[in-house]
Amino acid sequence: MARTLFEKIIAREVPANIVFEDDSVCAFRDINPQAPTHILIVPKKPIPRLGEAKAEDQSVLGHLLLQAAEVAARAGLDKTGYRLVINHGPDAGESVPHLHVHILGGRHMKWPPG
């Protein structure tokens, strides 16, 4: 199976503005931002989407969310608020089949979304 764009970013085969990385996750700025701050954080383990995660992925999923909050705080979004978004499938707007969390902030968010 071909590697996803995010796997290529993690491997440094495709350039990205990486803002955080550890052994389990990588966070980088979205190339098509939907807010003044739009960062994607992805697990390094290729999990196509949340609905395909397994029980053994529990620790990486928890780490992903904890690091999303840390990345948001480092970007100064914890002071005014931010939104985390996980899309699942094409109808939800998923364009890369690799689980990722959108960190959106820097403007007022409307409800309901999209």
Establish if 112 belongs to a structural domain. no
Res 1 pLDDT > 70: no
Q: Are 62 and 70 in contact (CB under 8 A)?
A: no
pTM of the entire predicted model: 0.94
Q: Are 12 and 38 in contact (CB under 8 A)?
A: no
Backbone angles phi, psi at 89, to 5 degrees: 90, 165
Provide the residue range defining the domain that includes 35.
5-105
Res 114 pLDDT > 80: no
Establish if 114 belongs to a structural domain. no
Res 15 pLDDT > 80: yes
The string of pLDDT tens digits covering residues 53-74 is: 999 999 999 999 999 999 999 9
Region 81-96: what's the mean pLDDT? Answer: 94
Residue 82, classed as helix, strand or coil, is strand
- Number of Cβ within 10 Å of residue 10's Cβ equals 22
Establish if 113 belongs to a structural domain. no
- Number of Cβ within 10 Å of residue 27's Cβ equals 26
CATH at residue 97: 3.30.428.10
**Active site (catalytic) residues:** 100
Q: Which residue has the tokens 């985390």?
A: 84
The string of pLDDT tens digits covering residues 23-50 is: 999 999 999 999 999 999 999 999 999 9
Establish if 110 belongs to a structural domain. no
